[in-house]
Structure 1
Amino acid sequence: MNAFTGLLWKDFKTSKVWFFGWLAIIFLIYIIGLVIGNFVKEPTIVQIFLIMIGVFHFAFLPGIVCSMLRLEGKTQLWLHSPYNGFMLLLPKLIIAFIYSTLSLLLVDGLGIISMLMYPEASLFSYWPIKEGIFFNLGVTVVGLYISGWTIFLWTFYHSLSKYPSIKSIRWIFVAGFIIVYQSIVAFLTSIKWVERLLFDTFTVEVSSGVFFSVGSNEAKAGFDPEMIPLPLLPFVFEGIVMIVVFIISCWLLDRKVEV
Structure 2
Amino acid sequence: MTAFKGLLWKDFKTSSTWFYGWIAILFLLFIIGVVIGEYVNEPGISQLFLIMIGVFHIAFLPVMVCSMLRLEGKTQLWLHSPHGGYMLLLPKVIIAFLYSTLSLLLVDGLGVLMMLLYPESSLFSYWPVKEGILFNLGVTIVGLYFSGWGIFLWTLYHSLSKYPSIKNMRWIIIAGFIILYQSVVAFLMSIDWVEKLFFETLTVKVSSGLFFSVEANEMNAGFNPETIPLPVLPFLFEGVIMIIVLMISCRLLDRKVEV
- Is this a same-fold pair by TM over 0.5? yes
**Where does 1:115-130 land on structure 2 (aligned, <5 Å)?**
115-130=115-130
Q: Match of 1:246?
A: 246
Unaligned residue ranges in structure 2 (runs of 5+): none
Q: Match of 2:133?
A: 133
**Where does 1:167-246 land on structure 2 (aligned, <5 Å)?**
167-246=167-246
Q: Match of 1:51?
A: 51
Aligned-pair identity in percent equals 76
Q: Match of 2:67?
A: 67
**Where does 1:158-169 land on structure 2 (aligned, <5 Å)?**
158-169=158-169
Deviates more, 1:81-90 or 1:191-200: 191-200
CA–CA distance in structure 2, aligned partners of residues 19 and 256 of structure 1: 29
CA–CA distance in structure 2, aligned partners of residues 192 and 112 of structure 1: 46
User: By how many angstroms is 1:214 displaced?
Assistant: 2.0
Q: TM-score scaled to structure 1, two decimals?
A: 0.99
Q: Match of 1:38?
A: 38
CA–CA distance in structure 1, aligned partners of residues 28 and 225 of structure 2: 35
User: By how many angstroms is 1:184 displaced?
Assistant: 0.8
CA–CA distance in structure 2, aligned partners of residues 75 and 212 of structure 1: 48
Letter in 2 for 1:102: L
CA–CA distance in structure 2, aligned partners of residues 6 and 86 of structure 1: 14
CA RMSD after TM alignment: 0.7
User: By how many angstroms is 1:79 displaced?
Assistant: 0.8
CA–CA distance in structure 1, aligned partners of residues 108 and 200 of structure 2: 35
CA–CA distance in structure 2, aligned partners of residues 207 and 46 of structure 1: 24
Q: Match of 1:83?
A: 83
CA–CA distance in structure 2, aligned partners of residues 214 and 5 of structure 1: 51
SS in 2 for 1:125: coil
Give the length in aligned residue pairs.
259
**Where does 1:143-158 land on structure 2 (aligned, <5 Å)?**
143-158=143-158
SS in 2 for 1:220: strand
Deviates more, 1:213-222 or 1:62-71: 213-222
Letter in 2 for 1:251: R
User: By how many angstroms is 1:215 displaced?
Assistant: 2.5
Q: TM-score scaled to structure 2, two decimals?
A: 0.99
1:25 aligns with 2:30: no
User: By how many angstroms is 1:216 displaced?
Assistant: 3.1
